[in-house]
Amino acid sequence: MRQNDIVIGIDTGGTYTDAVLLARGSGKVLEWSKVRTDKQNLGSCIREAVIKLIEKNSAARNASAVNLSTTLATNAIAEGRMRPVCLVLAGYDEDSFKTWSFEKEIPSGNIIFVRGGHDRWGDESSPLDEEEIRRTAARWKDRVEAFAVSALFGNRNPDHEIRARWILQSGSGLPCTCGHELTGKLNALSRASTAAMNASLVPIVREWMDSVGSALSSLGVDAPLHVVRGDGSLVSSTWAKERPIETILSGPAASAIGASRLAGLSRERDAVVIDMGGTTTDIVLVRKGSLKLREDGAMVGGFRAMIPSGEINTTALGGDSQVFLNPDGVISIGPLRVEPLCIISKKRPEVIEHISRITHKGGASYEDLVFLIPAGKAEIQGDRAEKRIIERSGNSLLSLEDASKEFKDPVSGLGTVMGLVRSGKLEISAFTPTDAMCAMGCIPSGDVETAVKSAEILASLGPFEEGNAFCRAVLERVSEYLSLFVVESLLERRGFHGSKTSEENFRKRLAEEIVRPPSSDDLLPIGASLNTLIIGVGAPCDAFIPKAAGLLKAEFSVPDHAPVANAAGAAAAAFSVRKGVLVLPLPECGGFRVHLPWGTSDMPSIEEAIGYAETSMKKWLGGIVAEEAEGKVSWKLSRENNTVKLKDGTSYLLGITLWFEAVQDR
Amino acid sequence: MDPVNFSERVKYLLKTELPRGEKVVSEGIDLGRSLKPGRSAFMNAYGVNSEAEYKRQCIRDRKIMYHCHIGMSSWNETARGLKYLHRSLASEGFYQDRAGICLDRRMALPPAMRRNAPAETGPLLENLEEWLAVGQAAPIQPHMGDFMIGFPASADNTVLALRAGVTTIGNLSQFFSHEAPGWRDTPFTAGETVKAIALMGALREQGTLVHSYLDDGLGALFTDCATVAGWAFLERYIVEELMGAKLAHCVGGLVSDPVKRSGWIFALQEIHQGDCVGSMFYGDTISFTRDFSWNRGVVAETLLWDILTQMECPTGHAVLSIPVTEAVRVPNAEEILEAQIFARNMEGVARRVHPSFDFSAPRAFAEKVVSAGRTVFNNALDGLSDAGVDLKDPVQMLFVLKSLGPKLFEETFGAGTPNPLSLRGRDAVVPNDVFEHSLRSVDKFRDSFASPDARSSLEGRRIVLASTDVHEHALFVIEQLLEISGVRVVNVGPERNPDEIAHAVGAENADAVLVSTHNGMALDYANAMLEEMEERNLSVPVFMGGVLNQKVEENEMPIDVEESLQGLGIRTCSNPMDLLENLVVMWKNGTDEAE
């Protein structure tokens, strides 16, 4: 018997899989669980997390829904594990593609150009070459797992994409993605790239959703599965299986929702959500209680996906980032993620032996506390020096100090070692903020002796009185990095978004000036205070957020259940679908053309055009949302006029975009 | 990439699926046989059955025919203008023989497509009633010269015009260098054009004339008058030999030298084997300035020569007196009337001068271009036949000739002495005026474009050049100038649609686009072009020059939109120097402004 008032939220993150049981009405976290993520077997991680949840509260079995937030799609693209697809492009300029090397921007090598496409009015430019598409289906069906199709101006008239999909699906039995269903924006190249990415994710996400479904039903949980999208809204599993690309960046979006709910953020307030993990930290902007969306799509694995996503900045700073001690005694952190010393020493006791030895001996270097560890089952290849390093690291504990003695020239030697790390043949273990927290007794896991001793050694190398002072300095440094990152992210939104080195340097300098407390002799004190609330979530945030907020003179909150904010956000997310409809004036005949998701219609007046768009879109979108949201739908309508000013001050209308958003009513 | 060599190019073109000439011709003939041409108010007033019959009477009686051009924005205004002209002239004791009705360019499209195409100046005839009214507005014979034969709606429009009592219909030349707005299907247009001409052929005995204004077609794009003459032979061959219609040639708008103007009448008489029946003789449009008194001098000189030539060598070409305001604005009815009265006065002058006038220079011109033109014609027929074209199939002939374009045609078949330094690889037998005119403009700015500053910024850049409308000579001048600066110019030509320009930018890897526009749709066009580029992931600087205005609903006249265009991100320029300065600033020291 399903209980309508409770929902399960699940987040499969890179390090942990979290599950939360949420009371729908109050938004309260009833129970939560956390298990380590095994990337090879995500389904069983979810199963394990849900079992723990059921153990704590058996009502979880009767949850009314299971909402997932996942990095599955993001990681598949970033790690290049995409399934093979064939991309059919109708009406695209093939010679342009060659001239401008556009194919590099498309994550599929199998591109077929066919005749077809429309013009900007949605009038057919050239008839669709259906015969060629039929041949393509037959030729490629055994070599790929999905098809994608995009037509020139397919967003102004989807007819060719819809016809092509029908031919491809019926001729191959494989799924097919249409570009116009993912975005209504111009830029045929980005639409093609987005469609191809989506198609290659379809089999991955289908298989995953199926395995999650059967894992849950084996536990007696038969609630419907929903998925969080990159814009923070919830969709049905059917929708997600067809449009998996929309689930990329669902993690930070769910975190932002979870953080806002857990912190009790009101509908009127803005917030900066800092979600800190082991490897990276995300910053997500919340405006007036909801996720702020960006217009230009999301970059994943070097490709642009034209899908709505939150304003998210990510930096390579986390609890497991490497801590460096520079020769001048200054601490720097990241960007490399390493194995914390207090964790590795639990697996390899020789680590603490080595550290104890150098404590007695004295005269240690930073490199004495950096260890090279062979990575998994990596094949031993490469030149002689590389092989020797890998072999030695496998035979016994190998510090970077000892490894560098293998090389005549230590500088090039270091280069070789780092090359092995980058190519995934070696991993590094070194001091991290996690070690600093462990040494100070802030976290329960990890070997305290290793953390304390290595902190003492590092303290002796710099201007620190003892290990504890060094650890405090590391935590302060992390807080400083976080505050700089917040300021830089906000500066980017203030127009300082250049990507050239000089612009990046300027942005960094300005951020430093803003964060640095002004001194009394400053002629131009720049220091600013943040005019918004900071909400910290993620496992290690407790140790850093108060200090970072202090530097920014900002109000902050680290809510209860902050470590599982993401899963809580997934549980709290609501259904919503937003679509734009373009209305273009038809020159001189005085009419207007309405570009709907399934075709175009001409209307004699603007009022009739808008009325027609409203009636048909409400029927269409309402149907999609009502199915999952049990009939309770409310509407947000808005209108954007694209005009240009004339000399006499009047406006000349170029087009109108009508926005329709169907939202699950709670 | 399309082949550039003549025979390879023809072979490539012949792979295109075309309507079969024989079939289309017989369809046209059937259409013609089932049709009974209507009678215009003019025919009733003068007791003739066609304009051709009237023209032959004029030739016999050495009577001068007068043409005027009327380009009001709606049919009602046009009709009012015609009535006013007739009444006013009659009160002075004159009559108006014929009037060219300047239709909206959308008339070239099949009716269903007209609605979505951008409007231009001129009336759009939307139903049979409006068509039939064309012949009845006043006893002035209507001439339907533009956007009829040579376009996708050729056959449909021709049928309607004939029913309205219009018997001189064109314009075949436009087939070769014009395109209906947004239209791409040239094989279809070739078929419909042939169908319309065959239809006219079936009614030849009823006095139909297929009008072709050489300056509107490739005639204006050849550098040598001999090539123009050769082309006239070719058109005559296609229309008369292959389809049995009567061809009425027109020239003049781009000819400013009065000797050449007069000479063309003698030449056309020769080309039409002594049986030339011309439609009209266009006034000189390239010598006009913004100074009306200067323009009056131009009109006086050309009218005198044109009328004298008709007295010496009557061909039925109606003389056209252009209002002196035409270079500045669309003339109103009063201005048209004033020009017509002036022409009647000039006729008096001509009659006094004629007995002592010497025509040896025009006759020499005619002899030269006709003889060289015959060579061009024979070269072309041999060349086309060798390359596999069926010389008996008018559809194939039209399609191939259009697709070859003026440059390849003149380079391959021109009659001048080969000279690699000349524009088309040969010295012209008699240089074409409009090219000489453009070359003078090039000379004026040559030094600036050749300056080290210009060259260092522009050399090696690729620029796509295009016009939204029929205006082509600006393109020619800019192309020459940019090439002097070392720019690799991709001139995609006149009457390009926004998507064609965007396609060229992509295919040619262009660094910038220059668009010339004159037809009152600059804002709509720019917006469409920017969207077409955005859709193709292309982002290059776009320059627009010419007359930057836009028709806006409430206003009768288009309004200036230069600043609005800038608001869309378009860079505007008013003359070649302005353009050069903009380009130099943008690309100084080989870097982009944006970097």
Among A104, A120, A124, A641, the strongest candidate for a mutation testing the B interface, having the largest count of B CBs within 10 A, is A120
Q: Which residues of A touch B567 (CB under 8 A)?
A: 644-645
Output the average pLDDT for chain B.
91
Q: How confident is the model at residue A381, as a pLDDT?
A: 62
Contact A280, A313 (CB under 8 A): no
Nearest CA in chain B to A189: B537
Q: Which residues of A touch B528 (CB under 8 A)?
A: 120
CATH of the domain at B572: 3.40.50.280
Same domain, A405 and A473: no
| Predicted structure pTM score | 0.75
Query: What mean pLDDT is predicted for residues B220-247?
Result: 95
Backbone phi, psi, residue B230, to 5°: -60, -40
CATH of the domain at B72: 3.20.20.240
Q: Flag whether residue B563 sits within 8 Å of chain A, measured between CB atoms.
A: yes
Same domain, A112 and A193: yes
Same domain, B86 and B167: yes
> Does the structure show a pLDDT above 50 at A635?
yes
Q: Which of A436, A461, A486 is the last residue of a domain?
A: A461
Same domain, A396 and A505: no
> Can you spell out the DSSP letters for A228-264?
E-TTS-EEEHHHHHH-GGGGTTHHHHHHHHHHHHHTT
CB contact under 8 A, A591 and B536: no
Query: What mean pLDDT is predicted for residues B420-448?
Result: 88
Eight-class DSSP state of B242: I
Same domain, A451 and A360: yes
Q: How confident is the model at residue A630, as a pLDDT?
A: 65
Query: What mean pLDDT is predicted for residues A602-626?
Result: 90
Counting residues of chain A whose pLDDT is more than 70, the rounded percentage is 97
> Can you spell out the DSSP letters for A597-627?
TTEEEEESSHHHHHHHHHHHHHHHHHHHHHH
Q: Flag whether residue A192 sits within 8 Å of chain B, measured between CB atoms.
A: no
Nearest CA in chain A to B529: A120
Same domain, B206 and B80: yes
Residue closest to A433 by CA, chosen among A314, A557, A540, A551: A540
Q: Is residue B50 part of a domain?
A: yes
> Does the structure show a pLDDT above 80 at B184?
no
| Helix, strand, coil abundance in chain A, percent, nearest 5 | 40, 25, 30
Q: Is residue A632 part of a domain?
A: yes
Same domain, B148 and B230: yes
CB contact under 8 A, A652 and B550: yes
Q: What is the number of alpha carbons within 13 Å of residue A435 lying toward its C-beta?
A: 34
Q: How confident is the model at residue A362, as a pLDDT?
A: 76
Q: What is the number of alpha carbons within 13 Å of residue A55 lying toward its C-beta?
A: 10
Eight-class DSSP state of B431: B
Q: Is residue A223 part of a domain?
A: no
Q: Flag whether residue A113 sits within 8 Å of chain B, measured between CB atoms.
A: no
> Can you spell out the DSSP letters for B508-554?
HT-SEEEEEE-SSBHHHHHHHHHHHHHHTT----EEEEE--EE--TT
Same domain, B304 and B445: no
> Does the structure show a pLDDT above 60 at A301?
yes
For chains A and B, CB pairs below 8 A equal 94
Q: What is the number of alpha carbons within 13 Å of residue A303 lying toward its C-beta?
A: 31
Q: Which residues of A touch B564 (CB under 8 A)?
A: 644-647, 652
Tokens of A150: 């995009």
Q: Is residue A234 part of a domain?
A: no
Nearest neighbour of A93 by CB, restricted to B507, B524, B528? B507
Each residue's pLDDT tens digit, A100-125: 888 888 887 899 999 999 999 998 98
Q: Are strands A331-337 and A339-340 parallel, antiparallel or unpaired?
A: unpaired
CB contact under 8 A, A93 and B503: yes
Distance between CA atoms of residues A557 and A555, nearest Å:
7
Query: What mean pLDDT is predicted for residues A338-353?
Result: 91
Q: Is residue A249 part of a domain?
A: no
Among B73, B104, B521, B537, the strongest candidate for a mutation testing the A interface, having the largest count of A CBs within 10 A, is B537
Same domain, B268 and B351: yes
**Closest CA–CA distance from residue A593 to any residue of chain B (Å):** 10
Q: Which residues of A touch B498 (CB under 8 A)?
A: 119-120
Q: Say which residues have a Cβ less than 8 Å from residue B562's Cβ, sequence separation at least 6.
A: B548, B572
Q: Say which residues have a Cβ less than 8 Å from residue B339's Cβ, sequence separation at least 6.
A: B68, B299, B321, B322, B323, B324, B331
Strands (E), B214-275: 247-250
For A141, the domain range is 85-200
User: For residue B165, is it left (φ>0), alpha (ψ between -120 and 50) or beta?
Assistant: left
Same domain, B350 and B454: no
Same domain, A347 and A455: yes
Counting residues of chain B whose pLDDT is more than 90, the rounded percentage is 70
For B213, the domain range is 6-362
Q: Flag whether residue B509 sits within 8 Å of chain A, measured between CB atoms.
A: yes
Q: Is residue A3 part of a domain?
A: no
Q: Is ipTM > 0.95 here?
A: no
CA distances from B436 to B227, B433, B440 (A): 15, 5, 6
Same domain, B198 and B329: yes
Q: Are strands B488-493 and A633-645 parallel, antiparallel or unpaired?
A: unpaired
Query: What mean pLDDT is predicted for residues A269-282?
Result: 90
Ranking A495-509, A636-650, B332-346 by mean pLDDT, the lowest is A495-509
Confidence band of B2 (pLDDT split at 50, 70, 90): very low
Burial of residue B311 (number of CB atoms within 10 Å: 0-12, 13-18, 19+): middle
Q: Which residues of A touch B532 (CB under 8 A)?
A: 119-120
**Closest CA–CA distance from residue B182 to any residue of chain A (Å):** 9
Q: Which residues of B touch A120 (CB under 8 A)?
A: 498-499, 528, 531-532, 535
Distance between CA atoms of residues B73 and A105, nearest Å:
49
Residue closest to B225 by CA, chosen among B372, B377, B422: B372
Nearest neighbour of B115 by CB, restricted to A187, A189, A589? A589
Distance between CA atoms of residues A255 and A234, nearest Å:
14
Nearest neighbour of B536 by CB, restricted to A121, A125, A188? A188
Q: How confident is the model at residue A160, as a pLDDT?
A: 97
> Does the structure show a pLDDT above 70 at A275?
yes
Q: Is residue A245 part of a domain?
A: no
Q: How confident is the model at residue B435, as a pLDDT?
A: 82
Count the neighbouring beta carbons within 10 Å of the beta carbon of residue A500.
9
CB contact under 8 A, A186 and B524: no
Residue closest to B340 by CA, chosen among B554, B140, B85, B537: B85
Q: Is B148 helix (H, G, I), strand (E, B) or coil?
A: coil
Q: Which residues of B touch A590 (CB under 8 A)?
A: 553
A-contacting residues in B 151-210 (Cβ below 8 Å): 182, 184
Contact A36, A15 (CB under 8 A): yes
- Using only C-alpha atoms, chain B has a radius of gyration, in whole angstroms, of 24
Q: Is residue B398 part of a domain?
A: no
Q: Is residue B380 part of a domain?
A: no
> Does the structure show a pLDDT above 90 at B35?
yes
Q: Which of A461, A476, A499 is the last residue of a domain?
A: A461
Q: Which residues of A touch B118 (CB under 8 A)?
A: 587-588
Q: Is residue B393 part of a domain?
A: no
Q: Flag whether residue B528 sits within 8 Å of chain A, measured between CB atoms.
A: yes
Eight-class DSSP state of A158: T
Q: Is residue B411 part of a domain?
A: no
Same domain, B73 and B206: yes
Q: How confident is the model at residue A249, as a pLDDT?
A: 87
Same domain, A612 and A641: yes
Core vs surface per residue A384-413: b (16+ CB within 10 A) or e: ebbeebbebbeeebbbbbbbbeebeeeeeb
How many domains is chain B built from? Answer: 2
Q: How confident is the model at residue A86, as a pLDDT?
A: 96
Q: Which of B362, B394, B420 is the last residue of a domain?
A: B362
Same domain, B230 and B339: yes
Same domain, B223 and B338: yes
Same domain, A117 and A136: yes
Q: Is A349 helix (H, G, I), strand (E, B) or coil?
A: coil
Tokens of B64: 């001068």
Q: Is A519 helix (H, G, I), strand (E, B) or coil?
A: coil
Same domain, B11 and B97: yes
Same domain, A196 and A101: yes
Q: Which of B342, B362, B382 is the last residue of a domain?
A: B362
Eight-class DSSP state of A380: -
Q: Is residue B563 part of a domain?
A: yes
Q: Which residues of B touch A653 (CB under 8 A)?
A: none
Q: Which residues of B touch A647 (CB under 8 A)?
A: 559-561, 563-564
Peptide bond before residue B497 is cis, with ω within 30 degrees of 0: no
Same domain, B180 and B74: yes
Q: Flag whether residue B506 sits within 8 Å of chain A, measured between CB atoms.
A: yes
Same domain, A424 and A489: no
Q: Flag whether residue B567 sits within 8 Å of chain A, measured between CB atoms.
A: yes
Q: Is residue B395 part of a domain?
A: no
CA dihedral B238, B239, B244, B247 (to 10 degrees): -150
Confidence band of B589 (pLDDT split at 50, 70, 90): low
Q: Say which residues have a Cβ less than 8 Å from residue B353's Cβ, sequence separation at least 6.
A: B304, B308
Nearest CA in chain A to B117: A587
CATH of the domain at A192: 3.40.50
Q: Which of B347, B362, B377 is the last residue of a domain?
A: B362
How many domains is chain A built from? Answer: 4
Each residue's pLDDT tens digit, A508-543: 899 998 888 888 888 888 877 888 999 999 877 888
Q: Is A35 helix (H, G, I), strand (E, B) or coil?
A: strand
**Closest CA–CA distance from residue B538 to any residue of chain A (Å):** 9
Same domain, A104 and A182: yes
Nearest CA in chain B to A184: B535
Tokens of A589: 């005949």
Q: Which of A533, A563, A593 is the last residue of a domain?
A: A563
> Can you spell out the DSSP letters for B545-570?
EE--EE--TT-SS-EE-HHHHHHTT-
Q: Are strands A371-374 and A398-399 parallel, antiparallel or unpaired?
A: antiparallel
Nearest neighbour of B119 by CB, restricted to A93, A187, A587? A587
Tokens of A321: 């980032």
State the alpha helices, DSSP H only, in B281-323.
Answer: 292-312
CB contact under 8 A, B503 and A188: no
Q: Is residue A73 part of a domain?
A: no
Eight-class DSSP state of A520: T
Q: Is residue B221 part of a domain?
A: yes
Q: How confident is the model at residue A66, as a pLDDT?
A: 95
Each residue's pLDDT tens digit, A40-55: 788 889 999 999 999 9
Each residue's pLDDT tens digit, B83-125: 999 999 999 999 999 999 888 888 898 887 777 666 666 788 8
Same domain, A635 and A527: no
Query: What mean pLDDT is predicted for residues A265-294?
Result: 89
CA angle A293, A297, A299 (to 5 degrees): 120
Q: Which residues of A touch B527 (CB under 8 A)?
A: 644, 654
